[in-house]
Amino acid sequence: MDEAEPISIASGDVTVTKRYVPEEFAVPTISFEIRSAGESPVEVRLEDRLPEQFSPERIGFHPDYDSEHWEARTDGRVVFESRIDPETTLVTVYGVRITTDEEAAAFMTEPELAVSTLGPDGERSDIEAPIVADGAGETAPIPVSRVESPADDDTASVAAALAAELRSGSVPEADREALREALGATPPERQRVQLGHLQARVSELEAYADAFGSFLDENGTADRLVDDLRTECEDLREAVEAAEADLAATTDRHGAAIESLESDLDSLEGSVADRGEIAADVDAVSDDLDALYEQVDELRRWRDQLGVAFDSE
């Protein structure tokens, strides 16, 4: 999915732009740019719905992008609630564990936006209706119907029926949330912030626990690693001791042969020296023979000369 396919909604002076950001963070993220152009602070409630069959456990909130203001609910909703000052732009994200563009496309749906203007004392002075998309892709407020007060008996019967529905667990979570807000049972902002922060920390700890569990499955506990290391050290020590014993036995076994070999080497060196002297004697005898050959040649020439002289007489 192309990153340049944002979805924008607005309520009053507040505009929210939703984007899919595949590569800016360590995991793919859904980014929300919340811009307030008004002159008064507002409280923004942004609700996004996860795709069906996508577990909230597969998302996480970035600690540098207002993670403490997010809450992941078991019914597949993720809710962001925070105060936005005038002329302010806030960017917040949540990460998703997905691998394909088809999975990313399922996240690009219209979120719901509700804006409450805050008075000077920080209390809500008016509430604007949540904004959702209509069939043409435009945003429009959710219609709100007014319920007239019935008689006391009717009120009691309706309340009893509502209590029975709540006990049976058949009331959807969205309706339960609406009842909490209507009855003033929604926790204060500080508690919601703390709860969101704790949920983010729990998500981080769960991810760490999963990674640590995989490591333990593959490598075992620290005690096991230490035991394995000790066993390997003992095996290595035994191998070294065995090698030293073999070396000592080999040295003892071949000691006499080594001494005899050294003696033979000494004798050989003496023989080589003697051969050097013999070679010198041979050279001297050769010189003497050469001298004798020259004398014999001279005697032969002298004899030939004498023979010539006698023949001439």
Which tops the pLDDT comparison, 160 or 92? 92
Q: State yes or no: pLDDT of 150 exceeds 60.
A: no
Chain-centroid distance of CA 280 in Å reads 83
| 84-123 pLDDT tens trace | 999 999 999 999 999 887 888 899 999 999 999 886 555 6
Chain-centroid distance of CA 153 in Å reads 63
Please report which confidence band the pLDDT of residue 133 belongs to, taking 50, 70 and 90 as the band edges: very low
Q: State yes or no: pLDDT of 190 exceeds 70.
A: no
* Residue 44: per-residue pLDDT: 95
Which tops the pLDDT comparison, 191 or 118? 118
SS3 call for 217? helix
Note whether 32 and 81 are within 8 A (CB): no
Residues 7-142, CATH architecture: Sandwich (2.60)
Taking the whole predicted model, whether its pTM rises above 0.85 is answered as no
User: What is the pLDDT averaged over residues 16-39?
Assistant: 93
How far is the C-alpha of 207 from the C-alpha of 27, rounded, in Å? 13
Closest CA to 123 of 10, 13, 40, 37: 40
Judged by phi (left if over 0) then psi (alpha if -120 to 50, else beta), residue 90 lies in beta
Q: State yes or no: pLDDT of 124 exceeds 90.
A: no
